[in-house]
Structure formats: structure tokens, C-alpha cells
Amino acid sequence: MNNSDRVFVHQFAKLIGGLAALTVVLILLALVIYGHEPKETDPNVQAQVAARLAPAGAAYAGNTGRAAMQAAADAAAKAAASQVAYGGTTDGKTIYDNLCTSCHTAGIAGAPKLGNKAMWAPRVAEGLETLIKHATDGYHGPDGNFMPPKGGNPALTDAQVKAAVTWIVDQAK
């Protein structure tokens, strides 16, 4: 090896040594910085803990208790009323237009078409109460036709189902 090669190897060794030292310093610096960073927390943990620690019930006593119980019952009744389909209307046509029309216009799943007297005659002969029961509870006919309970909308009240069935039967008379 000549003198210029020795100088190159010496300078190259210094460069590699300096880069190795810089790498070690950067790794140690990263470990120090990472150690001071706050740990990630799940934002839902506090809500989950609060839900686990919440009381399962409440005790009411005296007039204050009666008032609180009445307020809770009123709130529950209001919430239940807001869950009634179509604003609680008992207009059969409105209910038909919003729910029943999809099957009873096209005859889906063997549904008798609105106003088709031939299809409705045997059903009407069974009586209005039977038709209301089939509409409320659901029905699987012997010929493969199918009526889901409450037309597939469990938010309907029995009075709404009765109004819709009555309106549909009136159209077949």
C-alpha cells in the first residue's frame, strides 16, 4: 500500500467511527425524548369506568321520592310516545302509503294487491279480527305467502295496525 492509500483508509476509518458515534448519540437522545412523552390513553376509558361504577338503581322516599318517580314515569312515557311510528297517526291511508304500499301494490310474497276483490274475498271472509291478528302477529300462508308482524315495523301500535287493515279491507269492498 502506498502512502495515499494509507491516508484514504485512515480518513475513511475516522468517518465510519464518527458516524457510528453519531448513531449511538442519536439513539440515546431518542430514548431520553421518548421517556418524557406522555403515554397514550384511550379517551373512552373514563366513560367505561364511570359506567361500571354507576349505581344500578335509585331509592326514593317521601314526597320528594314520589315526585322523582312521577317525573321518571312521565319521561319514560314521553320517550315511548316518540318511538311510535308515523307520529302516532291512526289514519289507515297514511300508514298504508308509508309502509304497506311496498308489498300490497306489487304483490310481493303473495300479498294481495290493494283493491283486488278476487284476492281479498277469501281473506275478508275470515273476518276483520283474523286479518288484524295476522297483520299484528305475522302470518305464513299455506300457499307460501308471508306477512311480517306489523308489516315489518315494530314501532306500529295495535291501533295503527287495526286502522291500516280496516282501510285496506275497505278498499277491497
Residue 133 lies in a domain: yes
31 & 99 share domain: no
Look up the pTM and report it.
0.53
Q: pLDDT, tens digit, for every residue of 41-51?
A: 777 888 888 88
Q: Average pLDDT of 86-90?
A: 78
Give CA–CA dist 61/70, Å, rounded.
12
Q: Which three cell numbers stand for residue 22?
A: 453519531
Residue 84 · residue 158 · CB < 8 Å: no
- Residue range of the domain that includes 97: 88-171
Residue 17 located in a structural domain: yes
Instruction: Compute the distance between CA of residue 162 and CA of residue 151 in angstroms, rounded to an integer.
Output: 12
Burial of residue 107, with CB atoms counted within 10 A of its CB: 0-12 exposed, 13-18 middle, 19 or more buried: middle
Residue 67 domain flag: no
Task: Evaluate whether residue 161 is within a structural domain.
Answer: yes
Q: Are 103 and 167 in the same domain?
A: yes
For the chain, the 3-state helix, strand and coil shares in percent, each to the nearest 5, are 70, 0, 30
Report d(CA 29, CA 35) in Å as an integer: 10
Same domain, 93 and 154: yes
| Mean pLDDT of the region 4-25 | 95
| 32 and 103 share one domain | no
Q: Three-state DSSP class for 146?
A: strand
My answer on whether 101 and 165 are in the same domain is yes
- Specify the number of domains making up the chain: 2
> pLDDT-derived band of residue 81, with 50, 70 and 90 as boundaries?
low
Q: Does 155 fall in a domain?
A: yes
Question: Is 60 part of a structural domain of the chain?
Answer: no
pLDDT band (50, 70, 90) for residue 30: very high
pLDDT the model gives residue 17: 96
Residues 167 and 100 in one domain: yes
In this predicted structure, what is the pLDDT of residue 16? 97
Task: Identify whether 19 is part of a domain.
Answer: yes
- Looking at residue 112, which CATH number applies to its domain? 1.10.760.10
Instruction: Kindly state whether residues 103 and 163 are assigned to the same domain.
Output: yes
Would you place residue 140 in the very low, low, confident or very high pLDDT band (cuts 50, 70, 90)? confident
In a domain, 58, yes or no: no
Q: Considering the chain, what percentage of its residues have pLDDT values greater than 70?
A: 92
